[in-house]
Structure 1
């Protein structure tokens, strides 16, 4: 059995045990089945793929843990680490008083640490609550979640307050024979609605346009606002709202991956369309860069967790989806008293939410 599925009232989540990717997530809402997460078109197709692909790319789906994020250039491992490329075992999967809880353990160690993935579903909550725990180990590890959503008609984005957005020195696809990009590299802006474009002028990071064929990557640094970090995507054709939440003290950056037909080589082949990665992390690009001197550290942003014998490090993350009509994301998202409140225009919407889960204001676990 390579797919393990857990369910609570109104929600189900399936984990691909061969690589630790979420293969599917289904939420019942508004009389519909909402599916917020993306699965690459080649995963279930009977086709020949390039032989040198990491297993995590071969089975690219949903969300997965990157440890490290990007290059594994300190401890030998594939792109995004063993957490995204190798097998997980089911340690526990049990019904609870109000839903379901499952614990999975990575077969590989990471920097000498064992890694557990804990997935929790609650009856009537349209959210997947995730926690990852590193026990023992040595050195330091950069981490990031990698949730991907996809849309067929574009969408509108909104965010918790950010200090600024910045691109790296070089684009993902600098060779026009292989792909294309639209943002300027390197560039920086405090206005997410006006980010420097490659051809001059600016682009609006809060708008995902399907006619913009591109492969772009940008980092958003969380501002000090005292609440949860959040990203909201109103998908137009799907008539829903995808929500991704974090504790900024644990995961201080959000990396956006715009993947909309911007790669022409296999397995992407111009068919990876309408995909947005919303990648909350504590990392720079690559393990060595994350634990060494890097541009984020110089901005006062943590880029790795310290590991150690007889201690553990954990961090939490939430993915959800709600029915939505009108195509506009909320202007503000707050969580308290077992509810999430979304403010849009002059109206407020409330949904059930475990407001204690993200541990806002609590010390980091150790």
Structure 2
């Protein structure tokens, strides 16, 4: 696998240049090495043993990657989640900065005529990967999303920044029971994430990831207007850590959750993709054409694409991190300041860790 690794004190990240997926991320903390991101179990298996029609991004599914567009590429021809998730990137810059390291990668292909750069920044002593993507030039509009995935051996509990609502699409990911199974109702919506409708009747708690629920489900969370960064926190039971994913809601107004827990019976999934949660912060509806056209999110006042234009650049930022935690419950809140993050526990105590609070500055223009 053609990967490049960068590191700073206490953290390292590697990128699979063939498809732009993060191949690995390690955080050293508390005498442990945390690995917050997931890699598909079929990576490294002989190509001839896997279905012929799989996109490269599915064959090498790992970590986090840029979707542009998110889901179906039905405006400009490209595989699922677009060329940024399925084709090569080049290293255009890699070097030390004050207190850390910075690397810039460029997609060999263009997206809607735009040049796409991926920027990684690591800071000494910070348990976070700071990412930025920049689209320069182009025309039309593009939907985008990050696609970080974590995996849990024994499930876990989730917490979020305030959300306005949760909704499933019209059709489930696996409508054919001969191929897979889902648990949530489609379509459905709820304002209370702990009481979301299920297909069998009644409700389920979206904040509780239970391993006994074998399913393949997808639900979109719409950020509420709260004035701070958007965040997702996953308290992984067996791993005894807290995985943290943050965004600027003005740039990425929705968080799409992908529950993938043995819910697909066909190759390469084959019932072995277990305990995986995708935390897909985006500016998108399901599919490029749907994102550009009329869709339910627009009716809610939510943007679902970035406009592109020659002579202009569009950028958006994202953060992924992890810290040790023996607490089986996620935090009740997260607050950020210029140089730190405060993780607020259920019992009212606060834990402070190093964080670049300026990186996701709310109100920062998305036009570079």
TM-score in same-fold range (> 0.5) = yes
Looking at structure 2, the residues matched to 62 and 362 of structure 1 have their Cα atoms a distance apart, in angstroms, of: 27
**Would the aligned equivalents of 1:136 and 1:312 in 2 still touch at CA under 8 Å?**
yes
Deviations 1:60-93 (A, max 9, x none): 0000000000000000000000000000000000
Instruction: Determine if the alignment matches structure 1 residue 137 to structure 2 residue 135.
Output: no
Given that 1:226 and 1:361 are in contact with CA atoms closer than 8 Å, whether structure 2 keeps it comes out as no
CA deviation after TM superposition for structure 1 residue 97, in Å:
1.4
Q: C-alpha offsets along residues 323-358 of structure 1, whole Å, 9 cap, x if unaligned?
A: 001211111101112000010122000000000001
- Mapping of residues 281-320 of structure 1, within 5 Å: 281-320=282-321
**Aligned partners of 1:46 and 1:350: how far apart in 2?**
45
Residue by residue over 1:259-307, the C-alpha shift from the partner in whole angstroms, topping out at 9 and shown as x without a partner, is 0000000000000000000000000000000001101001100000000
SS in 2 for 1:290: helix
Counterparts of 1:276-355 in structure 2, within 5 Å, are 276-344=277-345, 345-355=347-357
The SS at the match of 2:335 is: strand
Q: TM-score, normalised by structure 1?
A: 0.99
- CA–CA distance in structure 1, aligned partners of residues 135 and 348 of structure 2: 43
Give the superposition deviation at 1:361: 2.3
Note the alpha carbon deviations across 1:100-134, whole angstroms, 9 max, x for none: 10000000000000000000000000000000000
**Aligned-partner Cα distance in 1 for 2:252–2:327:** 31
In the TM superposition, what are the counterparts of 1:1-366 in structure 2 within 5 Å?
A: 2-46=2-46, 48-344=49-345, 345-366=347-368
Unaligned runs of 5+ in 2: none
CA distance in 2, matches of 1:149, 1:216: 15
Unmatched segments (≥5 aa) in structure 1: none
C-alpha deviation, 1:157, in angstroms: 0.1
Secondary structure, in 3 states, of the residue corresponding to 1:56?
helix
Question: What CA distance in whole angstroms lies between the structure 1 residues aligned with 2:327 and 2:230?
Answer: 24
Cα RMSD over matched residues?
Answer: 0.8
TM-score using structure 2 length: 0.99
SS of residue paired to 1:120:
strand
- How many matched pairs? 366
